[in-house]
């Protein structure tokens, strides 16, 4: 089974900061990597698929990169609405999926 | 607009059973694989099960294999998850989710609002 490891597990930052979250796969997954944002009490929202393609309606301050085993999600200038928990998801083993353990982004 | 609405959650005793349902609309349900994902209180997302578009192939996480059964009724645009031999660690919000259109592998782009299952005596 493919394991996904995210880091850090939590992160404190300020509005306007640039932040980066990392996701590592236990084996190569090509670019079959997605990123999700989840706010308390809500379902996850898809942000990025194919490691770097933005879903429609997602602000351009979000970007993704990587291929193989190492991936990053970058938010170029944090906005108040971006404070949430972020998850990576591999879908190389579609329709079986694996999620990272999550990164909680908090206001400093 | 894709819409997924889960139902059937509730309080159940350890060892008990429950059946969750997911009503789908806004897309050609019979064309897409469907998944269940759960999230224990305060924890991360955990993929549970998937079923192919025809229902002919099913997939399970090791943690639920032999206890949970996924099924679908394409005539009713409905997805089901039967939960048997429930344990305290199965307590979670259960989400129904699916991919978007297009060929090949896709992530879970669409999610329902979830239904809470609580396993407790």
Strands (E), B1-121: 3-7, 10-12, 18-25, 34-39, 45-51, 58-60, 68-73, 78-83, 92-98, 110-111, 115-119
Chain A contacts of B46, Cβ < 8 Å? 99
Q: Give me the torsion for CA of B78, A96, B66, B116, rounded to 10°.
A: -50
The mean pLDDT value of chain A amounts to 96
Burial class (CB in 10 A: 0-12, 13-18, 19+), B44: middle
Per-residue pLDDT tens for B24-75?
999 999 999 999 999 999 999 999 999 999 999 999 999 999 999 999 999 9
The answer for A50, left when phi > 0, alpha when psi is -120 to 50, beta otherwise, is: left
- pLDDT score for B100: 82
Per-residue pLDDT tens for B76-85?
999 999 999 9
3-class DSSP state of A57: coil
> Which tokens go with A64?
């993704």
How would you classify the pairing of strands A33-38 and A19-25?
unpaired
How many angstroms separate the CA of residue A25 from the nearest CA in chain B?
15
How would you classify the pairing of strands B58-60 and B45-51?
antiparallel
Q: How far apart are CA B87 and CA A11, in angstroms?
A: 33
pLDDT tens track of chain A, all 108 residues?
999 999 999 999 999 999 999 999 999 999 999 999 999 999 999 999 999 999 999 999 999 999 999 999 999 999 999 999 999 999 999 999 999 999 999 988
B35·A49 Cβ contact <8 A: no
How many angstroms separate the CA of residue A103 from the nearest CA in chain B?
9
């Amino acid at each position: 089974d493919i394991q996904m490891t995210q880091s850090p597990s939590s992160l404190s930052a300020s509005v306007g900061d640039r932040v980066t979250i990392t996701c590592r796969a236990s084996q190569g997954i090509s670019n079959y990597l997605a990123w999700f944002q989840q706010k308390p009490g809500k379902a996850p929202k898809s942000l990025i698929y194919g490691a770097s393609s933005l879903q429609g309606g997602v602000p351009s301050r979000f970007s993704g990169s990587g291929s193989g085993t190492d991936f990053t999600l970058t938010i170029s200038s944090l906005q108040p609405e971006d404070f949430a928990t972020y998850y990576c998801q591999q879908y190389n083993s579609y329709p079986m999926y694996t999620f990272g353990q999550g990164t909680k982004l908090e206001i400093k | 607009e894709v819409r997924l609405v889960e139902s059937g959650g509730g309080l159940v005793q350890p060892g008990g059973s429950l059946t969750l349902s997911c009503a789908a609309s806004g897309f050609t349900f019979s064309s897409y694989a469907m998944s269940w994902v759960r999230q224990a209180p305060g924890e991360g997302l955990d993929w549970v099960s998937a079923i192919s578009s025809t229902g002919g192939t099913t997939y399970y996480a090791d943690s639920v294999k032999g206890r949970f059964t996924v099924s679908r009724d394409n005539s009713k645009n409905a997805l089901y998850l039967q939960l048997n031999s429930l344990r305290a660690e199965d307590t979670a919000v259960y989400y129904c989710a699916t991919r978007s259109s297009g060929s090949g592998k896709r992530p879970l782009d669409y999610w329902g609002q979830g239904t809470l299952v609580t396993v407790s005596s």
